[in-house]
Amino acid sequence: MNLLVVVTALLAMVVGSHAQCLTSDDTQTNVTNAQAIYISGSHDFAMRLFQRLHSSALAEDRNVFYSPHSLWCALSLAYFGAEGDTLLAMEEAMGLTNLTKVDVMRAFRFIHFWQDIRKMDDKKTDKNTLRVANRLYFDKTEEVKECMTELFHDELEMLDFRKHSEEARQSINQWVETQTANRIRNLIPAGAVDASTRMVLANAAYFKGTWYSQFKPEKTKLGLFYSSKEQFTFVNYMTQSGAFNFGVSEELQAHVLELPYLGEQISMFLLLPPFRDGALNHTVSRLTPQVFRNAIEMLWQVDIKNVTVPKFRIEENYDMSDELSELGFESLFNASAANLNGFSKSGNLVLGSALHKTFLEVNEEGAEAAAATALITMRTSRPVSPRAFICDHPFMYVIYDKMMHTMLFMGTFEYPKAAALSLDKKV
């Protein structure tokens, strides 16, 4: 079973008519392809943030794992309340300069609508579970605009941050636990909200998927994983053989393997560079939305005799405020520049934190990954079927919703000691 959970919360503090809620005239739209532009912006955001996380001090001796979709949803909530220069900066950072807020709201709702439809279908067929939920929490004294309460009537909740901040914190954390099947606990730590908190924008994403082709537990065995040529650790490896979509990306300098989940609408894509120090850094540095799309569109189904992937669990906890500021969202966290007056009549809202907590579990029922240790031979024609795809050195992966073209989760596996299932620790 492959279990992935992630939660994002944006915390805001005070520093010092429905038809016209988002724009001066919410009946008009600029473009007809708003959904495509909105998704394209999310892909660019995902890649840029992934590269920044992987190259930063946050990645030292830890495996990067985060949800671009969860962060994107939380930032979209902030976008709907942004005005003035803050709105212009967010439009630029999110690639939404050609859209109106109404365009973005329709794209935002369309994606969540189809995720809800599929959630009901998956529940009937017992395939996978994908749950994405948003929540806007405001202090009960905040003068939230009536049109905002109408737009987000199912997602907006008033809490008493001013007098009962600890109870408010526990209430938000309880909602998170419920949405993530208790996998994410204590998202907001003690002291992170207080009497000055006026708003928390939260998104919870939960995915539990079963592999289309499962690994057999009896074939799982210990083997060496090489973080570098000089550093290696024993891990539990899962192994199987069969027909898989496989390809070689010259642009990424990596082998690519698709591991689908039941229903084949969501897949894990493994990107495995050659066994060479610094090879993963090189692959990550070359990532762009177009390059990734080229890589997954050029896969062929081939028979592979040995697909091997580590069995592991990753839990990560980030405050993304610095990383988001560097990607163009600095005005959200700047007390003198933030303008989120679209939410409230009182104004003066500024974000203080961007908390992001993730959980990933990969085992025989639901996760499959593999790697090739040979140097890559680049080719423009169909690749010869590889005899093995063995993930015994650093690789990256993307959990991708092919139906909605959404990058749900992204991560790297480089440091087995930071993954709880690397040895004989059972779930």
Shared domain check, 394 and 297: yes
Q: Measure the CA–CA gap between 27 and 21, rounded to whole angstroms.
A: 10
CATH at 398: 2.30.39.10
Shared domain check, 144 and 17: yes
Chain segment 175-232, per-residue pLDDT in tens: 988 888 888 888 888 888 888 888 888 888 888 888 999 999 999 999 999 998 889 8
Shared domain check, 193 and 148: yes
pTM score of the predicted model: 0.86
Chain segment 385-424, per-residue pLDDT in tens: 567 899 999 999 999 999 888 899 999 999 998 875 444 4
Of 3, 96, 416, 34, which is closest to residue 226 (Cα–Cα)? Answer: 416
Residue 331's domain comprises 2-126+129-209+314-361
Chain segment 104-133, per-residue pLDDT in tens: 998 998 887 766 665 555 555 557 788 888
pLDDT of residue 57: 62
Phi-psi region of 31 (alpha: psi -120 to 50; beta: other; left: phi over 0): beta
Q: How many domains does the chain have?
A: 2
**pLDDT value at 13 more than 50:** no
Shared domain check, 31 and 67: yes
Domain assignment of residue 192, yes or no: yes
Q: Measure the CA–CA gap between 46 and 105, rounded to whole angstroms.
A: 20
Of 195, 176, 201, 194, which is closest to residue 186 (Cα–Cα)? Answer: 176
pLDDT of residue 126: 59
Query: If you average pLDDT over residues 306-325, what whole number do you get?
Result: 88
Domain assignment of residue 426, yes or no: no
- Sign of the four-CA dihedral 46, 177, 217, 418: positive
pLDDT of residue 307: 94
Shared domain check, 411 and 326: no
Shared domain check, 386 and 266: yes
Give the full edge-to-edge strand order of the sheet including 156-159. Answer: 156-159, 129-139, 197-209, 2-14, 349-362, 312-319
